[in-house]
Amino acid sequence: MKILYSAAGTPIPGTHGGSIHALELCRALARRGHEVHLAALRPSLSRGAEVPLDGVQLRYLHRFLPVTLLEWTAGRAIRSLIAEIHPDVVVERFYTFGGGAIAAAHHAGVPAVLEINSPARDYPGSLRDTLDKLTIVRPVDRWRRRQLERCAAIYTTSRHLVPPELQDSATVIVNGVDIDRFTPGPETPDTGPLHCAYVSSFRSWHGAEDLVEAVSHCVSHRVPLRVTCIGEGPRWKLAKEAAAVAGIADNIDFVGRVPHAEVPGLLADADIGVAPFAPDQFRALELGWFWSPIKIFEYLAAGLPVVTADIVELRTLLQGGVANFYRPSDPLALAEAIMELEADRAAVRRMSKAARALAEQRYTWDHQAAAVEDVLNRAL
């Protein structure tokens, strides 16, 4: 199958979850024998030499400023690519202001599939909702509905992202991990500080400050911990300052943003993976928990037991005794979940093996690409 995958608002390669998802999925589709063309933004700092493409043909699109309002303008470039490539199917990663690839495919008579990883429905406080309230004809909503109507199929990381009338027909496909690159490191020793890894883009709902408070509580109870925080974002500086104020700067290493190729080594050096969340800090989650955090699958592949918020969808993902759950937005409960593992290193080692097995059995990118392939075949 010849596939044109459009990620008009996403720089590839990159360190953001969307960048990782798009490239990894396309690589897995290429490994399955498909000819894959990936149309995306060129990153500000190219790291292309560090990222294997596995046969994926990158087609860079023009970067507009602000790109988050202008993804739809990629339509002309996508029309040119369709005329050049003659794809069997076009896949577009959904953006509120996207739709250029869907429109181009419709114009060319090529089946189009929409991949939905962010809300394709209204929720209070969204930019789309705000803009539509300023008009009478609700242009953003109408444009979004046109995208949905022109699709031959939809797949999504969560049905909560899809308008209610389309939820039954959408296929749910969560994110995945490259189990050849993410592998377990040495077994957790019986003594010494428990090494926790935290990967984040430091959004308000990612619980970074909850983690700092939890670590402070552990240290005050003489629980030996070492935490490596990987990534940067809006709350990174605040979390780092909070650690300094709490007197635990020596316990938490804020390494900042690193190339994705370096993340496997950092996780292999850890004992557990921490994924705190504060859903009440993100109004979009009023739709329901729709997050499919790539870091959780990377923790599993690295053999890291996961400490994360007790949310139904996360419990469904993390079955088989691979996780400790705590009450969301409760730093003391998060501390207790971490301390429980620190006190039982044998349990950490058992959970490590179960975590790796779960990643291999259910969450490889090849598993997810096979599911996407089924969707594309149905669209054809």
Domains in the chain, CATH or no CATH each: 2-176+364-379 (3.40.50.2000), 194-362 (3.40.50.2000)
- Tokens encoding 107: 């114009």
**d(Cα 308, Cα 131) in Å, to the nearest integer?**
35
State if pTM tops 0.85: yes
Q: Average pLDDT by consecutive 10-residue portion of the chain (380 residues)? A: 95 89 96 97 65 89 74 90 97 91 95 94 63 56 82 95 92 96 96 97 94 97 96 95 96 94 96 95 85 95 98 95 96 98 97 98 97 96
Which pLDDT score, from 0 to 100, does residue 276 have?
Answer: 96
DSSP string, 306-352: EEEE--HHHHHHS-SS-EEEE-TT-HHHHHHHHHHHHT-HHHHHHHH
Which pLDDT score, from 0 to 100, does residue 370 have?
Answer: 98
> Could you count the other beta carbons within 10 Å of the beta carbon of residue 85?
18
- Tokens encoding 73: 């303008």
Nearest to 48 by CA among 36, 60, 37: 60
Segments in the chain forming alpha helices (H): 17-31, 75-85, 100-108, 127-133, 139-149, 208-220, 236-245, 263-268, 294-301, 312-317, 331-342, 345-362, 365-379
3-state secondary structure of 142: helix
Peptide bond just before 224 cis, omega within 30 deg: no
3-state secondary structure of 199: strand
Which pLDDT score, from 0 to 100, does residue 49 have?
Answer: 43
**d(Cα 42, Cα 211) in Å, to the nearest integer?**
34
172 - beta bridge partners? 156
The answer to whether residues 78 and 4 touch, using CB atoms and an 8 Å cutoff, is: yes
Backbone angles phi, psi at 178, to 5 degrees: -90, 105
**d(Cα 3, Cα 36) in Å, to the nearest integer?**
5
Contacts of 330 (CB under 8 A, 6+ apart): 210
Which pLDDT score, from 0 to 100, does residue 72 have?
Answer: 83
Which pLDDT score, from 0 to 100, does residue 373 have?
Answer: 98
Nearest to 75 by CA among 58, 87, 92: 92
